[in-house]
Chains A and B, each alone.
Chain A
Amino acid sequence: MARNRRRTSEEKAPGAAPAGAAAGKGSGTAATAETATDAPLLEVCGVVRHFGMLAANDDVWLSLKAGEIHALLGENGAGKSTLVKIIYGVLRPDAGRLLLHGKPFHPASPAQARAAGIGMVFQHFSLFEPLTVAENIALALDDAHEMDALKQRILQVSEEYGLPLDPDAMVADLSVGERQRVEIVRCLLADPRIIILDEPTSVLTPQEAQALFATLKKLAAEGRGILYITHRLEEVREICDRATIMRHGRVVEEITPSEHSARQIARLMVGADVHAVEAPPPADLGVPALHVRDLTLPADGPFGTALFEVSLDVRIGEVVAIAGVAGNGQRALFAALSGERLAQNRGAVFIMGHDVSRLGINARRQAGAAFVPEERMGHAAVAEMTLAENLLLTRHAVDDGLVRHRFIDHDRVRATAQRVIDEYDVRNAAPGRMASALSGGNLQKFIMGRELDRRPKVLVVNQPTWGVDAGAAALIRQALIDLARHGAGVLVISQDLDEIFEVADRIAVISRGELSAARPASELTREDIGLMMAGAHEQRNGGDSRRTQA
């Protein structure tokens, strides 16, 4: 019976394909109308999964039809990943069941899920950089393949779905967008009926994202069901036929996204109105708080990114944002600004007028700067230590009496940690609690608060709201703007264009270790930034864009 249905949807494919290929809001609803009568490919019926006391999934219901792109929406910790892991056979439910083509389905492993026709594209790539595209794909396949035949199939699939890929290219040489194509092609080689994508556009330029949408619509038009996890609401409204919204492990609503505004959907996700970030225009801009001149640094490892003649000014009163696709030198730039890596010569990095090029991170903090790196655990904070100890991590060398004559003043450290917890609304926290006990959003609030509490004159922050829920993200963004307006220079490195347009007064773009000139945010569109992300400003190999744009 399932077989019959599959054939019917495939027969429809030729008719649906053109509608899918033409990117537009109308096509999605058209596809729904065509396939709505079909019974679901996959049904999730009352699934429950506990982790200790926490109900990560609590009576979850969902149905995925053939030919639809179905969004799974929710804040971090809403239970999306748990649900997807259950469908993909990574986790087993405590109660409830799955129906695949109407029959009970209990995958005990991802291999079983794949054999049953479920494919998944993960947010974090699992590719080996020193191997070629074909070798990486061969490694992940469940059964052995002849290499030449495999390359042929890779070419065939990549052409068919508009995912240009060279099977012999070394993965280390690929852009992030290309790496994602490898993951998608790898998934498609198994010809899955159901495809799960976990936040696929978080690493793409706007142009690359558009190309991906065309591919997804083609796949859906062939009668496959696509489960699409994201937190970008505009995307959902653009390409998804239906959306299931989760909150605290439960399904709160199933909607047709095109019928709701992004703001309405956000309210369903968060369960309350999201605080709108207010950015008053900056007053008269003061002196450069952070001044970078021709900073050049070699890569710090075989897969690191070199910085080339980076120049930048951040003045008191403004927020400057650096956009860019992941892996284009953001980490290297952050390390060079924070002093985790020193510049090679003097005269490259100035904080409040002091040349700190050859000084370490604590000397730069003493000069008035504060830093928040991208990774929370293991970089910005130590999971196995208390919040009080984590406060000390970045403040032991700053002159506020937390350490005197090499001895720690524990009372003072605890009191300061408590002040940060209170002022920055860190929930479920106490100075003596472990950092690992906090959710991502609350820990990020603590980490931001730890630095803001010092009233720094310069703040450099990499991915300030990465993996943070919408409510906390809005608070953090507002805090960045407020800090700038109260007399500091703020530099935000981010991959999230929504965030950048929300907070930035000026925007620069980094690609392959080169930084464009910063331009006022009001003069720029997403498309401009997309072009710059693809390297239009590069001096060394600008113009000749190595990256294939589909």
Chain B
Amino acid sequence: MMVLEKRPAPSAVWSIAAPLLALLVAVVLGGVLFAALGHPPLKALYIYFVEPLTSFWSIEELLVKATPLLLIGCGLALAYRANVWNIGAEGQLVMGAIAGSAIPILLPEWNDPLALVAMLALGMAGGAAYAAIPAMLKNRFNTNEILTSLMLVYVAGLFLDWLVRGPWRDPMGFNFPKSVAFEGWHLLPVISGRVHLGLVLAGVAVILLWLVLSHTRAGFAVRVQGTSAQAAQFAGFSARRITLGVMLFSGALAGLAGIGEVAGVIGHLQPSISPGYGFAAIIVAVLGRLSPAGVLLAALLLALTYLGGEAAQLALGMPAKVAQAFQGLLLFLILAAEVLVHYRVRWHRAGRQRGSTA
């Protein structure tokens, strides 16, 4: 009989080993999944996880995909530290993209470095403002932010859809649902290939997260709030201010990721601007154990699953949804492995303590 016994303190070893174990099991189950789809598992795993790392071009592509994951993952890590479950980063990403795009679409003549700065600032403001809605609903009416932030994702998606098919559609675009193409300082400067300035901003976000969490009173307040709400109250930290603060922070970073995608990768607004980065970043934050270094590694790994998914699609003709299925599998296993951090597994020989009371 297997028994779970609560550990007196969370295990330090397992807090590192659990996500790695989850990853290992996910890879094995991934192989089973590929085999079930009729492909030789080892070859498929090679194409999925190793081949994308063998060429310079694909490493660049890895960084392009890691950029939004890293930005959003940093924001979510801080929010989750405070026990505030922002699930709506995908919507905040879209709203940030829309707010930032207002400048190239509505003020196309303003095309200088300052315009780019304003675009980035508007992107952050748009994401933050959109994240403020679930925060204020929670603070005022005690609604569940998991539900409200998630539902707002679909509102944002439909709003973007309406904009690019309606008022913001490119008049010269042959009725395609897309905005005018951005040009000059309306695009993020390129570092190498398709890698854009957003990667630098993502690096800054990682450092900022580390600084806030380890060295500021605000980060301390977030950590106390996340572990014990009553202790946070005793310390004089306001739960409402913390909730609003971390939602604004995570929303702003998601918004920055959104404008980064539009102004750095796509170059115009269109109905779909993200292959679910806002959701994948939830996995990034949790897999990274809500720590800056962990988020960095996890963002690269999740970027690899996108890239591997594309490669498998091309080389083996696998369905595009395989990447998402694999991401879901990974999140599920990470959450399951979390048990090992707090509980110890003990095996009892059945029958030993049976009987003898009669």
Chain A residues with CB under 8 Å of chain B are 51-52, 92, 104-108, 112, 115-116, 338-340, 360-362, 365, 371, 373, 375, 378-385, 389, 392-394, 396-397, 403, 406-408, 410, 434, 436-437
Tell whether B167 is near chain A: CB-to-CB under 8 Å: no
The residue in chain B whose Cβ has the minimal distance to the Cβ of A378 is B228
| A-B interface, 10 closest residue pairs, ranked by CB to CB distance from nearest | A362-B236, A108-B353, A361-B236, A378-B228, A393-B235, A379-B230, A106-B356, A436-B9, A382-B231, A112-B357
Complex Cα gap A436–B12 (Å): 14
Contact partner, A360, options B216, B227, B230, B236, Cβ 8 Å? B236
CB neighbours of A408 from chain B (8 A): 215-217, 220
Q: Is B231 touching A379 in the complex (CB atoms < 8 A)?
A: yes
Within 202-219 of B, Cβ neighbours of A (below 8 Å) are at: 215-218
Q: Is A378 touching B217 in the complex (CB atoms < 8 A)?
A: no
Quote the shortest CB–CB distance from A119 to chain B (angstroms). 15
The residue in chain A whose Cβ has the minimal distance to the Cβ of B12 is A434
Known A-B contacts A105-B356, A385-B224, A396-B220; A434 and B234 likewise in contact (beta carbons under 8 Å):
no
Q: Is B236 touching A397 in the complex (CB atoms < 8 A)?
A: yes
Interface size range on B against A = 20 to 34
CB neighbours of A338 from chain B (8 A): 234
Q: Is B220 touching A389 in the complex (CB atoms < 8 A)?
A: yes
Q: Is B217 touching A106 in the complex (CB atoms < 8 A)?
A: no
Complex Cα gap A92–B230 (Å): 35
Tell whether B233 is near chain A: CB-to-CB under 8 Å: yes
Known A-B contacts A106-B356, A116-B357, A406-B216; A382 and B236 likewise in contact (beta carbons under 8 Å):
no
Q: Which of A52, A378, A379, A382 has the largest count of B CB atoms less than 10 A from its CB?
A: A382
Tell whether B8 is near chain A: CB-to-CB under 8 Å: yes
The residue in chain A whose Cβ has the minimal distance to the Cβ of B348 is A92
Tell whether B223 is near chain A: CB-to-CB under 8 Å: yes
Q: Is B227 touching A382 in the complex (CB atoms < 8 A)?
A: yes
Given known contacts A112-B357, A379-B228, A379-B231, what 16 new A-B pairs fall within 8 Å (CB)? Answer: A51-B8, A105-B356, A106-B353, A108-B354, A361-B236, A378-B230, A378-B231, A381-B231, A383-B227, A384-B9, A384-B227, A393-B235, A397-B236, A407-B217, A408-B215, A408-B217
Q: Is A385 touching B227 in the complex (CB atoms < 8 A)?
A: yes
Tell whether B10 is near chain A: CB-to-CB under 8 Å: yes
Q: Pick 10 A–B contacts, CB within 8 A, sort by A.
A: A106-B357, A116-B357, A360-B236, A378-B228, A378-B231, A379-B228, A379-B230, A393-B231, A396-B220, A436-B8
Complex Cα gap A375–B233 (Å): 13
Quote the shortest CB–CB distance from A87 to chain B (angstroms). 13
Q: Is A394 touching B215 in the complex (CB atoms < 8 A)?
A: no
CB neighbours of A92 from chain B (8 A): 353
Complex Cα gap A407–B220 (Å): 10
Complex Cα gap A437–B8 (Å): 8
Quote the shortest CB–CB distance from A351 to chain B (angstroms). 15
Q: Which of B9, B224, B234 has the largest count of A CB atoms less than 10 A from its CB?
A: B234
Q: Is B357 touching A382 in the complex (CB atoms < 8 A)?
A: no
The residue in chain A whose Cβ has the minimal distance to the Cβ of B10 is A384
Q: Is B8 touching A407 in the complex (CB atoms < 8 A)?
A: no
Complex Cα gap A115–B358 (Å): 9
The residue in chain A whose Cβ has the minimal distance to the Cβ of B228 is A378
Quote the shortest CB–CB distance from B81 to chain A (angstroms). 12
Q: Is A392 touching B357 in the complex (CB atoms < 8 A)?
A: no
The residue in chain B whose Cβ has the minimal distance to the Cβ of A339 is B236
CB neighbours of B234 from chain A (8 A): 338, 340, 361, 371, 373, 379-380, 393-394
Q: Is A437 touching B9 in the complex (CB atoms < 8 A)?
A: yes
Complex Cα gap A334–B236 (Å): 15
CB neighbours of B9 from chain A (8 A): 383-384, 434, 436-437
CB neighbours of A381 from chain B (8 A): 231
Within 308-358 of B, Cβ neighbours of A (below 8 Å) are at: 353-354, 356-357
Q: Is B357 touching A105 in the complex (CB atoms < 8 A)?
A: yes
CB neighbours of B224 from chain A (8 A): 382, 385, 393
Complex Cα gap A371–B234 (Å): 9
CB neighbours of A116 from chain B (8 A): 357
Q: Is A380 touching B231 in the complex (CB atoms < 8 A)?
A: yes
Q: Is A340 touching B231 in the complex (CB atoms < 8 A)?
A: no
CB neighbours of B216 from chain A (8 A): 406-408
The residue in chain B whose Cβ has the minimal distance to the Cβ of A403 is B217
